[in-house]
Amino acid sequence: MLAAAGALEVRLAETDSEIEQAQRLRYHVFYEEMAAIPSPDMREARRDFDKYDEVCDHLLVVDRSALGEDGQPLVVGTYRLTREIDAARAGGFYTAGEFDISQMIKGHPPGTKFLELGRSCVLKAYRNRTTTLQLLWKGLLTFVARFDIDVMFGCASFPGIDPDAIALPLSYLHYFHPMPARVTVKARPELFVPMNRMPKAAVDEKEGMRASPPLLKGYLRAGGCIGDGAVIDRQFSTIDVFIYFPLSNIDARYRSRFGLAG
């Protein structure tokens, strides 16, 4: 266990059953609640899965006062955490299928430790509980400290596949939260969707932040920034943007809240 608050605790999955619970939660959120399109095997199993699940770590928020389908404490939140050693076993980072991350890797000194964040979701009934998200963050940052991670990265998603419908937040991210030029990540050329859909002068910063998904807001407030170009993910019916989060950037308030040094 990494941390607890009342009946909720955050920890890494240790058994196949716990990983399957996380996959069922992902299936429920992505495919049943949202508009993702499952494969026939996923639909039959009612689980979201791919080759990365076998090699990475799964961070779980568990409610000890409720039981899942397997009779074990209910998994109500999850993150999939992929280190370089894991990605090597799977043939590369998942994010590289949408974004060219080569300049980011090359732009850091040899020995820099990267962590890819993915498949984050929270059961609907627990989304308005700040405790759930706080535990996910605390677990994530405890994991980061344990493995001396230098840079976190991954995708954050907007629902829907019409970029013009989210022109304001996309433009806001493009103009006000760009990655440093030396490590800039761009959407792959064949998938690139421009994010500067409005003139900078027309972008209301507060409204741009307000129109962004909660998880993305958290990354930005903590010190994260955004790659160049978005990607339409038609399987998940989302528009994805790249998140870059060097741990050296983490806001002092977050360091204090989660007991991090520095």
Residue of 21, 17, 86, 24 whose CA lies nearest to 52: 86
Please tell me what DSSP assigns to residue 31: I
Residue 132 has which token pair? Answer: 């759930």
What's the pTM value of the predicted model, to 2 decimals? 0.92
Residue of 243, 249, 247 whose CA lies nearest to 228: 243
Question: Taking a C-beta distance cutoff of 8 angstroms, is the pair 78, 114 a contact?
Answer: no
Residue of 125, 108, 13, 99 whose CA lies nearest to 61: 13
What are the extents of the domains in the chain?
A: 3-257
What does the pLDDT profile of the chain (262 residues) look like in tens digits?
Answer: 778 888 899 999 999 999 999 999 999 999 999 989 999 999 999 999 999 999 999 999 999 998 877 788 899 999 999 999 999 999 999 999 999 999 999 999 999 999 999 999 999 999 877 788 889 989 998 999 999 999 999 999 999 999 999 999 999 999 999 999 999 999 999 999 999 999 999 999 999 999 999 889 989 998 999 999 999 999 999 999 999 999 887 776 666 655 555 4
Cα-based distances in Å from 76 to 26, 154, 231: 10, 21, 28
Cβ–Cβ contacts within 10 Å for residue 193, how many?
Answer: 16
For the chain, how big is the Rg over CA atoms in Å? 18
Distance, in Å, from the CA atom of 88 to the CA atom of 96, rounded to the nearest integer, reads: 12
Which architecture, in CATH terms, is 3-257? 3-Layer(aba) Sandwich (3.40)
Question: Taking a C-beta distance cutoff of 8 angstroms, is the pair 227, 185 a contact?
Answer: yes
Residue of 102, 21, 9 whose CA lies nearest to 58: 21
Distance, in Å, from the CA atom of 254 to the CA atom of 262, rounded to the nearest integer, reads: 11
Q: What is the DSSP string of 159-227?
A: ESS-GGGGHHHHHHHHHHSBPPGGG--EE-TTT-B-S--S-GGG--HHHHHHTS-HHHHHHHHHT-EE-
H-helix or E-strand spanning residue 137: helix 130-146
